[in-house]
Structure 1
Amino acid sequence: MWPFATLAEAQAWQRDYRSGGHQPWHLDPERTALSFTQGYLGFESIDRITARTVNSSQARIGVAPRGSEGGTAAIIHLVRYGTGPDAPWEVVGTDDTTFTLAMPGYGSLVRSPMQTGGRITGVDESIRVQVRQPSSPKPLGTSCCTSAGGNGQPWKRSVSFSGARDRVLTVVASTGGHVAEVERFAVTAVRTG
């Protein structure tokens, strides 16, 4: 999903790193998770690590908004992309619990408009959905806002998007507004063809 669109890109980074130490943050799952959240998703207020589980091939990194009131916004799931001890970390999704993004399914072939949905536990939630691609700084589409709440209640939202050039897109659903603009989010990867 991010930051490398292909294995060839990850291998090119490995060669650059080996020859000159280029962008060492790709070897740190925490820095990669925060770069994904702040840089790619644009959730700048999410700047804390709340949990860390790392082994040789996978990592799960909890991220949260600044301040002491916000709980974990998401658990970012990363895997090593490629081979060798300097294989970079790649974000592949989120581990969702009280806020899920189940539709469209991971790896689904999609077109615009796209139906999204999942389940949410919370009070007075407002869900925003965006479609992003790594090659663009701005969302390809945004749909806001779906009111939701309760205990494990379903939510649905249609989102239109245009300008997709990358084969893999990121769908991100977020909610917030109580103590931070983004308090929880979930992501999935989809294909354009």
Structure 2
Amino acid sequence: PPTVTEPEIESLGRLRHKNLVNLQGWCKQRSDLLLVYDYIPNGSLDFFLYGGGGQRCLSWEQRFRVLKGIAAGLLYLHEEWEQVVIHRDVKSSNVLIDDEMNGRLGDFGLARLYSHGTAASHTTNVVGTVGYIAPESAQTGKASTRSDVFAFGVLLLETASGRGRLATATATLYWWTG
């Protein structure tokens, strides 16, 4: 899959929001790219949902707080920052839980930046994680803020139900929730 370019890394390094995992620095030597992000102590949301062995179960209030934070982070990326950032990989393993139990969206490796008012991107192949990819993105290869919102909807259902995302590209949300 495509990765972010150096100018995009410079831009992403300027993102500052309490519900994002902020990039603190980076360096490139030969073909190695090293990114330094905020330290987030509690791990990922998917660990709390599936890997905690019942010992680290999130309350409904905590789940709501995490989702509300991710929604605020996406609003910032899509509408409030100097450019539009399409994350393209919103999923539970990319939501990290900080020391105050806030959700913070991380992993901008597939993200793309656009000027406000420009059309959605057209990629040569579909990127993201099966089960979170919007059907229209899978068909057209176009990513947009709407495809991020679709992935957030899947994340919301996953967090509320405790059920994992769809595992195959042919399954539908209707089947999953039925």
Q: TM-score range by the shorter chain?
A: under 0.3
Kindly indicate which of the two structures has a greater share of residues assigned to helix.
Answer: 2
* TM-score between the two structures when normalised by the length of structure 1: 0.24
Kindly indicate which of the two structures has a greater share of residues assigned to strand.
Answer: 1
